[in-house]
């Protein structure tokens, strides 16, 4: 039986090396037995190889990201992973609104509209625009960027809470998700072992400072335990780079990142954009070869 205190990480297509569930450290209160089988994630037969995330509470479950294509077995596998689905509302949400993170949404549209029976008590799909994201979570937002420091709490029931905050600069609707129970910070496409594409340099630099402040304010035990999880892997274990479009990555870099990686990204981007979109942002790997910052192409 799935515990309410769980985070499930669904991995990618078979041609990517599927990280073993044991590649993430064991964690009290975290059930990792729900990794989907390769067959169930054939939806991710795309070079992007997205990771998606499912958090389950006693009242509702929330799925962050639906992958690059609609693929029915993926949806079925989610329901199978949540045996008490009939007593839960499913929120179909997104880290952000790039195509490889939202294109599976149609899988749930008929159920969300009440046109088809659902294994879940109800299904709600969160909209893609920053305003729709803000409205759904009651997260303050202003188009002029004056609410970038806003945070909010999303309640999953049973005392389970997620903290959400804006991490824009890669894409306008991007949020971070922190789960204290499993010591997971989902950083989407803002931080992962690979190419970090910056679209708005000042905003991205501010996001990186905000993420650094967040981890620095965690209690030391929580900060030490923190697992920073992004949506892709584009690097090999020897610090090399898998080119865009690679669909076979047999020797991927370690997936999970740490609080130190968050601080390193803040250092790498500190002050960037103060003199224009490309100012202060050099393309290249960080000194530890854990990520590569890619400035906007103007």
Stretch that binds Zn ion, among 58-66, 132-140, 185-193, 257-265 (CB under 5 A): 185-193
The tokens describing 41, both together, are 């994630």
Contact call for residue 189 and Zn ion (CB under 5 A): yes
Find the Cα–Cα–Cα–Cα dihedral 239, 243, 244, 246, rounded to 10°.
-100
Nearer to Zn ion, 57 or 68 (CB): 68
Contact call for residue 12 and Zn ion (CB under 5 A): no
Rounded CA separation 244/249 (Å): 11
Nearer to Zn ion, 51 or 137 (CB): 51
To the nearest whole angstrom, how small is the minimum distance from the Cβ of residue 95 to Zn ion? 8
CB 54 within 8 A of CB 7: yes
List residues bridging with 164 in a β-sheet. Answer: 152, 177
Nearer to Zn ion, 89 or 189 (CB): 189
**β-pairing verdict for 60-64 and 89-93:** parallel
Stretch that binds Zn ion, among 37-45, 188-196, 235-243, 261-269 (CB under 5 A): 188-196
Rounded CA separation 179/57 (Å): 11
Cα 112 vs. chain centroid, distance in angstroms? 22
Stretch that binds Zn ion, among 97-105, 127-135, 153-161, 261-269 (CB under 5 A): 97-105
Nearer to Zn ion, 98 or 128 (CB): 98
Q: How many residues bind Zn ion (CB under 5 A)?
A: 3
Looking only at residues 21 through 40 of this chain, which bind Zn ion when binding is defined by CB under 5 A?
Answer: none
Contact call for residue 183 and Zn ion (CB under 5 A): no
Binding Zn ion (rule: CB under 5 A), the pick from 98, 128, 195, 210 is 98
Query: Closest Cα partner for 166 from 183, 184, 178, 181?
Result: 178
Binding Zn ion (rule: CB under 5 A), the pick from 65, 89, 100, 261 is 100
Q: Could you tell me which residues come within 8 angstroms of residue 61 by beta carbon, excluding any fewer than 6 positions away?
A: 54, 55, 82, 85, 88, 89, 90, 91, 120, 156
**Would you tell me which residues interact with Zn ion (CB under 5 A)?**
98, 100, 189
């Amino acid at each position: 039986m799935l515990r309410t205190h769980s985070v499930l990480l669904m991995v990618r297509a078979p041609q990517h090396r599927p990280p073993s569930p044991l590649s993430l450290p064991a964690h009290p209160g975290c059930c990792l037995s729900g990794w989907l089988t390769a067959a169930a994630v054939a939806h991710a037969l795309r070079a992007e190889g997205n990771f998606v995330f499912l958090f389950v509470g006693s009242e509702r479950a929330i799925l962050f990201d639906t992958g690059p294509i609609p693929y029915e077995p993926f949806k079925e596998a989610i329901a199978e992973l949540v045996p008490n689905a009939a007593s839960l509302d499913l929120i179909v949400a997104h880290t952000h609104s790039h195509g490889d993170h939202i294109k599976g949404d149609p899988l749930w549209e008929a159920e969300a509209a009440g046109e088809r029976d659902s294994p879940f008590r109800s299904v709600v799909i969160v909209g893609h625009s920053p305003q729709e994201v803000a409205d759904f979570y009651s997260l303050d937002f202003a188009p002029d960027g004056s609410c970038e420091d806003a945070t909010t709490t999303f309640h999953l029931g049973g005392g389970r809470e997620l903290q959400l905050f804006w991490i824009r600069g890669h894409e306008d609707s991007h949020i971070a998700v922190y789960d204290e129970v499993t010591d997971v910070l989902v950083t989407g496409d803002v931080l992962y072992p690979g190419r970090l594409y910056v679209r708005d340099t000042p905003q991205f630099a501010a996001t990186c400072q905000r993420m650094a402040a967040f981890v620095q304010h965690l209690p030391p035990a929580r900060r030490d335990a923190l697992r920073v999880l992004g949506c892709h892997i584009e690097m090999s274990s020897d610090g090399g780079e898998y080119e865009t479009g690679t669909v076979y990555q047999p020797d991927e870099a370690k997936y999970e990142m740490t609080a130190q990686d968050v601080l390193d990204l803040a250092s790498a981007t500190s002050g960037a954009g103060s003199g224009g979109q490309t100012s202060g942002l050099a393309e290249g790997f960080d000194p530890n070869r854990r990520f590569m910052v890619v400035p906007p192409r103007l």
